[in-house]
Amino acid sequence: MPNICVFCGAREGNHPSYVEAAIRLGREMASREWGLVYGGAKIGMMGAIAGAVLDGGGRVKGVIPEVLDWPEARWDRVNDMQVVPDLFVRKSVMMRRSDAFVALPGGVGTLDEIFELAAAKQLKMDEAHGKPLFILNVAGYFYPLREMIRNVVGARTEAVDCVMAVLDRGDPVAVDRALKFVLGPCLKNMERVFEECRRTSFWEV
């Protein structure tokens, strides 16, 4: 079964929909036996999604850097916890261990993960190439990011082939449908999604 890496914040944010989306996504993943790869924390949205997957009997792989490996942050409920030297190694491990990626609302760390993955996909690096990235646009959180990417592409300072998909419904069920679509046995489906992403920068659902 696939492992899905979820990028999200270690804070809950100021909108209840953020945590609700993390919990719903975690439940959906556990019910489909999709493993979670995440940043290893027990707080904020990270803790919400990991808790939902664990409560549903699902598999969780945590990857936490040494600088954040302290009792208030690290979650001992996660059996498969890997402590790594720094944030750079953390991102590399998370990419290698995952088949697809979903981004929920988060801070600069989440944005860093999104853009490093997008850059790795453009360069066709082994740990990222061929793996879809879905951005779950909860309560419109990622609309400014979408506009920024469109501006970057429109200014021709970047190619159009950074393969991202914004799920505008902000609904984990949309992620479920999208992941089934691209992770299914028919590779032409994945090719169709990638072609649409390359054409528009964002594939909106």
Q: What is the mean pLDDT of each run of 10 residues along the chain (205 residues)?
A: 91 91 91 93 95 96 91 83 95 93 93 89 80 84 82 66 54 60 43 46 42
Measure the CA–CA gap between 138 and 34, rounded to whole angstroms.
Answer: 21
Determine the residue type at 57. Answer: G
Nearest to 127 by CA among 110, 113, 112: 113
Find how far residue 135's CA is from the centre of its chain. 7
Report the first-to-last Cα separation within the chain, whole angstroms. 24
Topology at the third CATH level for domain 3-204: Rossmann fold (3.40.50)
pLDDT for position 119? 84
Alpha-carbon separation of residue 1 from 4, 46, 57 (angstroms): 10, 21, 14
Measure the CA–CA gap between 9 and 183, rounded to whole angstroms.
Answer: 25
Contact in structure between 138 and 174 (CB atoms under 8 Å): no
Tokens of 39: 């940043």
Find how far residue 63's CA is from the centre of its chain. 14
21, with CB counted inside 10 A (0-12, 13-18, 19+), is buried
Residue with tokens 């590399």: 92
Measure the CA–CA gap between 135 and 183, rounded to whole angstroms.
Answer: 16
pLDDT for position 6? 96
pLDDT for position 197? 45
